[in-house]
A and B are shown apart, each in its own frame.
Chain A
Amino acid sequence: MRNPITSVRLKSVLEQLATPFVSVLLAFAIGSIVIWAVGYDPILAWTSLLKGAFGDARRLGDTMLRATPLIFTGLAVAYGFRAGLFNIGAEGQLFLGGLSAAWLGLLVVDLPRGIGIAIMLVAGALAGAAWAFIPALLKARVGAHEVITTMMFTFIGRYLVSYLVTGPLKAEGQIPQTVKLAPETMIPKFSETFGIDFGRAHWGFVIGIAVCVLMWWILKYTTTGYEARAVGFNQWAAETGGVSVSRTIIKSLCISGALAGLAGVVEVIGVQGRLFDQFSSGFGFTGIAVALLARNNPLGVIAAAILFGALSAGAGTMQLEADVPQKVIFIIQALVIFFVAADQIAKWVLSPFKRKGAENA
């Protein structure tokens, strides 16, 4: 009895992996056409991209570094999607998380490093959750669409941070930014720990993976996750089954906001050491692509974030060596989202293989 079910499961896992994989390939194929059409060499572009992303320990470190915030924002968006909520405003929650870390980092300087980091992580998560709370409340009470409200809160949050770093929290000097944090309040770097030059990659990457596993477990094995999924699939049935839909919406969007807030914390105490206007290069938005590619599976988020981290890490080398503008990365991202969402295309591409497999079986 057991074997067929295991093999069915294995097969379905493989099938689940096949579609995103083909989607990424298709995205690169179309990207190649675009690059080729405007007169560049796609093969050179992708090889230099690969080299830039994985060429040596330092570059690998750069990929991990760039994947780190994306793990958190991707997870944030994915968790929201599981509860039927589109948290398009992870970027704003990330800003608030970063803000809280930049401020708290100056206060926890006398505490032991681990405790200080833990406090900043918790506080950043709370700040992110708080920034998601009003959109969550509006969604639950009056049905205001979270796509618009969280987006608006992103703009509000960015202006808030812009005000604080040019005013009350501004460090001495010309540049609008906060005071630089002491190195002992920051997350340790891989280079420090392992003695190998991994560039600026830090332990936030590992924290991110751990949080992904935790969220995977929460979704699968706790009532919190069960109720979030029930509401995400069918809020009427969930309501009939005694689940408070509005409470679940608020809780889920706040959890999503908390995860996005963590991204901001990790970016501030892992990399930048301070907060400034442009400290996020759209991690919250890239998180959407990460979540979709991962099909909202927290474990898939890890792989998808590494892919997008690699894209962004390799883009510089690509521009340098193949002369292709870095912005092509956005085009690839958009295409990946398309092909994952319109999975019929990938399935159609896969269908000859599938038929073959069925014949062999």
Chain B
Amino acid sequence: MASPLLELRNITKRFPGVLANDSVSLKLNKGEIVALLGENGAGKSTLMNVVYGLLSPDGGEVFVDGEPVELKSPRQAIDLGIGMVHQHFMLIEPLTVTENIVLGNEPTTAGVIDIRKARADVVEISERYGLAVDPDAKIIDLPVGAQQRVEILKALYRGARILILDEPTAVLTPQEVKELFGVVRQLVTEGLAVVLITHKLEEVMASSDRVVVMRDGKVVGETKPSDTDMSGLARMMVGREVVFRIEKKPTVCGDTVLNVRNLKVLDDRHLEAVKGMTFDICAGEIVAIAGVSGNGQTQLIEALTGLRKVEEGTISFLGNDITHSSARQTIDAGVSHVPEDRHRRGLVLEFDLAENMILGDHRKPPFTKRGIMDPQAIAQITEERVEEYDVRSPSIRIAAANLSGGNQQKLVLAREVGRNPELLVAAQPTRGLDVGAIEFVHSRILAERDSGKGVLLVSLELEEVQSLADRILVVFEGRIVKEFAAGQASDEELGYFMTGGGGTKLTENSDTEGGESNDA
């Protein structure tokens, strides 16, 4: 038998304080899809960054076509036929599709780019692999699905034989996921080999030929989807039994907490991002907004929490008009906000736990009296909440930057829920967390609902939406296009409406081999 296309032997990689990869070995053969399964922080991305030459390992060897290779830079990886689609796209927004694809391998004469040849090359491979894109469009104007196609084209343009996809489905609808796996299947039949990094069990079951499971930097098992099932994989991945479904009491819908009427909001580019949304949230109810990233969710949340100007329409909260309230007034009125990006909006990473705990309440007693802060009161309440929300930290005087992602999110939750709000706006509250932290966050959100508070959940994870929501609002291009009660819609149905429904409004996705008509 021929030697494997790619082989890793005993790869070890240390970061300060963490052993990210502990003697990891892996084989990849021509024509197969290997899923690399593991929780966030299990070391999957580190391993693949080693393969791609972005990180140099502290120990171990890499073989390509049976030959030992040394990967010191992405350049060498590219030359060996390794291509990678990163979880956060490596695309340059103001540049065009063509410029992005040829960057680093530009066709030139004496340093001058032959843009016509570049464009022709892009069109040629995009047609060959059925990955439709507009070569002249700027990345910033493309939907995420199209951006991902550009990423794959980038790798193919460089002659990739080994394609690494890092969490490729995180931002896609179920239909787009299906389409992606169709493309990947076609690529392996043409002789490529694909590594699929994921933490989603369904994807592994549906698409891979072989599964390698990682936990805490080590390979803990290898199997075939046909030889196992979801709970078996979950046990391997987490190291214990995992409960898939959350127990939920039926809702008791109380008074209306939030009332949004015909809301219109602009984005940073002054384009209308929320185009007239109307909905209510009642006390004791979780309303989930489901949608593909970039369909107005961010702007909606920012408008509700006083961070973005409302163009038209009204927001009323417990009967009071808060349409034009500032962030501070909104917090004081009783709206709490778990932001979608805890590093950007959720925490001041340089602040210690106590300083972060009072953010938003820092002008109010008992923390502050007449502009002067009371360090003892702050410390006491911080200690209490840190205890209650299980934030693991050696001291409340440690900068938030030193906490793990899960503990950071618990810190945000401790502050926002600890404030005892009437409405909790939670945006992607479990992004990037491990299973334990996800369970904790979910239980806290449910506890809020059960104690009669309103909850608005915005999530890109359909699983999360399905398991938590009492009502689901599907958004597309700034509008609510469909409403479901809990348990009424399948993932496929949600996905159908998330991409515009009916098949008439699909943008350029529909150009590719009639993707959506296959699903409908």
B362 touches A241 (CB 8 A): yes
Q: Which B-chain residue is minimally distant from A238 (CB atoms)?
A: B348
The answer to whether A234 and B362 touch (CB under 8 A), given A5-B395, A223-B371, is: no
Q: Mark B342-358, 1 if CB is under 8 A from A, else 0.
A: 00111111110001000
Residues of A within 8 A of B368 (CB): 223
B337 at the interface (CB under 8 A from A): yes
Residues of A within 8 A of B375 (CB): 221
Q: Which A-chain residue is minimally distant from B338 (CB atoms)?
A: A240
The answer to whether A242 and B339 touch (CB under 8 A), given A5-B395, A233-B349, is: no
Of A5, A233, A240, A244, the contact of B351 (CB 8 Å cutoff)? A233
Of B360, B371, B373, the contact of A241 (CB 8 Å cutoff)? B360
Q: How far is the CB of A101 from chain B (nearest CB, A)?
A: 29
Residues of A within 8 A of B355 (CB): 226
The answer to whether A242 and B351 touch (CB under 8 A), given A222-B371, A223-B368, A237-B345, is: no
A223 touches B359 (CB 8 A): no
State in angstroms the CA–CA spacing of A141 and B305 once bound together: 21
A230 at the interface (CB under 8 A from B): yes
Question: Inter-chain contact count A-B, CB under 8 Å?
Answer: 71
B327 touches A240 (CB 8 A): yes
A221 touches B327 (CB 8 A): no
A5 touches B373 (CB 8 A): no
Residues of A within 8 A of B360 (CB): 240-242
State in angstroms the CA–CA spacing of A2 and B327 once bound together: 38
Q: Mark A1-23, 1 if CB is under 8 A from B, else 0.
A: 00001000000000000000000
The answer to whether A244 and B326 touch (CB under 8 A), given A5-B397, A223-B373, A239-B307, is: yes
B328 at the interface (CB under 8 A from A): yes
A230 touches B326 (CB 8 A): no
A146 at the interface (CB under 8 A from B): no
A267 at the interface (CB under 8 A from B): no
Q: Which A-chain residue is minimally distant from B395 (CB atoms)?
A: A5
Residues of B within 8 A of A239 (CB): 307, 327, 345
Q: Which A-chain residue is minimally distant from B337 (CB atoms)?
A: A240
B327 touches A233 (CB 8 A): no
A237 touches B362 (CB 8 A): no
State in angstroms the CA–CA spacing of A236 and B348 once bound together: 9
B101 at the interface (CB under 8 A from A): no
Q: Which of A204-239 contact B (CB under 8 A)?
A: 221-224, 226-227, 229-230, 233-234, 236-239
B331 at the interface (CB under 8 A from A): yes
A237 touches B347 (CB 8 A): yes
Residues of B within 8 A of A5 (CB): 395, 397
Q: How far is the CB of B377 from chain A (nearest CB, A)?
A: 12
Residues of B within 8 A of A222 (CB): 371-373
Residues of A within 8 A of B444 (CB): none
Q: Which B-chain residue is minimally distant from A5 (CB atoms)?
A: B395
State in angstroms the CA–CA spacing of A237 and B327 once bound together: 11
Residues of B within 8 A of A226 (CB): 355, 362, 373
B345 touches A242 (CB 8 A): no
B371 touches A224 (CB 8 A): yes
A234 touches B344 (CB 8 A): yes
Residues of A within 8 A of B351 (CB): 229-230, 233
The answer to whether A233 and B348 touch (CB under 8 A), given A226-B355, A242-B360, is: yes
Residues of A within 8 A of B362 (CB): 223, 226-227, 241
A242 touches B331 (CB 8 A): yes
B350 touches A240 (CB 8 A): no
Q: Which of A60-114 contact B (CB under 8 A)?
A: none
Residues of B within 8 A of A227 (CB): 362
Q: Which B-chain residue is minimally distant from A231 (CB atoms)?
A: B348
Residues of A within 8 A of B328 (CB): 242-244
Of B329, B345, B395, the contact of A240 (CB 8 Å cutoff)? B345
Q: How far is the CB of B498 from chain A (nearest CB, A)?
A: 27
Q: How far is the CB of A102 from chain B (nearest CB, A)?
A: 34
> What count of chain B residues pass the 8 Å CB interface test?
32
B72 at the interface (CB under 8 A from A): no
Residue in B331, B332, B337, B373 with the greatest tally of chain A CB atoms within 10 Å: B373
Of B305, B306, B330, B359, the contact of A230 (CB 8 Å cutoff)? B359
Residues of A within 8 A of B329 (CB): 242
Q: Which A-chain residue is minimally distant from B355 (CB atoms)?
A: A226
B350 touches A233 (CB 8 A): yes
B385 at the interface (CB under 8 A from A): no
Q: How far is the CB of A177 from chain B (nearest CB, A)?
A: 42
Residues of B within 8 A of A229 (CB): 351
The answer to whether A240 and B363 touch (CB under 8 A), given A5-B397, A221-B373, A226-B373, is: no
Q: How far is the CB of B86 from chain A (nearest CB, A)?
A: 23
Q: Which B-chain residue is minimally distant from A227 (CB atoms)?
A: B362
Residues of A within 8 A of B344 (CB): 234, 236-237
A236 touches B326 (CB 8 A): no
Residue in A230, A234, A238 with the greatest tally of chain B CB atoms within 10 Å: A234
Of B330, B332, B337, B372, the contact of A221 (CB 8 Å cutoff)? B372
Q: Which A-chain residue is minimally distant from B360 (CB atoms)?
A: A241
Q: Which of A227-275 contact B (CB under 8 A)?
A: 227, 229-230, 233-234, 236-244
B371 touches A236 (CB 8 A): no
Q: How far is the CB of A222 from chain B (nearest CB, A)?
A: 5
A237 touches B373 (CB 8 A): no
Q: How far is the CB of B402 from chain A (nearest CB, A)?
A: 13
Q: Which A-chain residue is minimally distant from B329 (CB atoms)?
A: A242
State in angstroms the CA–CA spacing of A237 and B341 once bound together: 10
Q: How far is the CB of B337 from chain A (nearest CB, A)?
A: 6
Residues of B within 8 A of A236 (CB): 344-345
Q: Mark B90-131, 1 if CB is under 8 A from A, else 0.
A: 000000000000000000000000000000000000000000
Residues of A within 8 A of B372 (CB): 221-223
Residues of A within 8 A of B363 (CB): 223
Residues of A within 8 A of B305 (CB): 240
A241 touches B397 (CB 8 A): no
Q: How far is the CB of B401 from chain A (nearest CB, A)?
A: 10
Residues of A within 8 A of B371 (CB): 222-224
A230 touches B348 (CB 8 A): yes
State in angstroms the CA–CA spacing of A227 and B373 once bound together: 12
State in angstroms the CA–CA spacing of A244 and B350 once bound together: 19
Q: How far is the CB of B458 from chain A (nearest CB, A)?
A: 15
Of A234, A238, A242, the contact of B326 (CB 8 Å cutoff)? A242
B348 touches A234 (CB 8 A): yes
Q: How far is the CB of B344 from chain A (nearest CB, A)?
A: 5
State in angstroms the CA–CA spacing of A359 and B514 once bound together: 68
State in angstroms the CA–CA spacing of A230 and B356 once bound together: 9
A237 touches B346 (CB 8 A): yes
Residues of B within 8 A of A242 (CB): 306, 326-332, 360
B327 touches A234 (CB 8 A): no
Q: Which A-chain residue is minimally distant from B350 (CB atoms)?
A: A233
State in angstroms the CA–CA spacing of A227 and B349 once bound together: 14
Q: Mark B9-21, 1 if CB is under 8 A from A, else 0.
A: 0000000000000
B307 touches A237 (CB 8 A): no
B373 touches A240 (CB 8 A): no
| A-B residue pairs in contact (CB < 8 Å), sample of 20 | A5-B397, A222-B371, A222-B372, A223-B362, A224-B371, A226-B355, A230-B359, A233-B351, A234-B348, A234-B349, A237-B359, A239-B327, A239-B345, A240-B327, A240-B337, A240-B345, A241-B359, A242-B330, A242-B360, A243-B327
Known: A5-B395, A230-B359. 20 other contacts (CB 8 A): A221-B372, A221-B373, A222-B372, A223-B363, A224-B371, A226-B355, A229-B351, A233-B350, A237-B345, A237-B347, A240-B307, A240-B337, A240-B345, A241-B327, A241-B331, A241-B359, A241-B360, A242-B329, A243-B328, A244-B328
Residues of A that sit less than 8 Å from B by CB = 5, 221-224, 226-227, 229-230, 233-234, 236-244
